[in-house]
Amino acid sequence: MARLEGKVALITGGGSGIGREASLLFAREGASVAVVDRDEAAAAETVALVAAAAGSKQAPAVAVTADVARAADCEAMVAAAEQAFDRLDVLFNNAGVMLGADDDAQTTDEATWDTTMDVNAKGVFLGCKYGIPALRRAGGGAVVNTASFVAKVGAATPQVAYTASKGAVLALTRELAVIHAREGIRVNALCPGPLRTELLMKVLDTEAKRSRRLVHIPMGRFGEAAEIAKAALFLASDDASFMTGAEMVVDGGLTAAYVTPE
């Protein structure tokens, strides 16, 4: 049986990268998917890919345009998912930004800090603010929040706003997991390592920058968005039924090479 058979999932940042791969994978595993992105065309393209994979023009997916940093948009995206599919079982707060101007504390400008925190941290908060009540209405469900390995070890290349925002995601995940554990709502975080996605490759835009990041990865390569989508599927499914408040690290061994056990 498909692992998300009969479930409804909402995936933010669904127009590209991890979000697109998760949308395709979740649909293959039986879920109906609300593909959310601030780029309307990108969300629609993902829905078309889901339809093509299903061999039907009637995709088990809908495109929803939303900016996760805006409360009204987050409320509307959850409403759209419930309107399309009558319920919500999985909330994947995946949307994120990594800005080129993000550097050390001295040189990072306030606008870069604010934008990064608004999307990466407040976006997860707002997704949960409106998504968790929908999961409760469905009788329980799963929240998966995309954090990052940098929340655990810091980045070799300075990016203080991004790192701080992902640390906030981990803290928020732990607290929400405890709050909602008795309601049948599980809340877990993904901590991907460096991935070969457009988001990261725009920042690591020279061979020197890419090599500096790769030297820290024991596997010697960047991860792929599809590999993270598989981890998200596990956390979203009943296979992870006794996991909540956890941080799943999928990083090619990066943190194992630098974190000393307490």
Distance (Å, rounded) from C-alpha 100 to C-alpha 98? 7
Instruction: Identify any residues that bridge with 145 across adjacent strands, giving them in sequence order.
Output: 93, 189
SS3 245: coil
Residue 236's closest CA among 135, 121, 91?
A: 91
162 catalytically annotated: yes
- Answer yes or no: are the C-beta atoms of 62 and 112 closer than 8 Å: no
> Cα–Cα distances in Å, from 259 out to 124, 150, 160?
26, 12, 19
**Could you tell me which residues come within 8 angstroms of residue 12 by beta carbon, excluding any fewer than 6 positions away?**
19, 36, 37, 66, 68, 77, 92, 93, 94, 95, 123, 127
Q: Which of 162, 176, 204, 225 is catalytic?
A: 162
Instruction: Identify any residues that bridge with 65 across adjacent strands, giving them in sequence order.
Output: 37
Instruction: Identify any residues that bridge with 248 across adjacent strands, giving them in sequence order.
Output: 190
Residue 224's closest CA among 247, 255, 203, 201?
A: 201
In this structure, what token pair is assigned to residue 2? 């498909």
Q: Which residues are catalytic?
A: 162
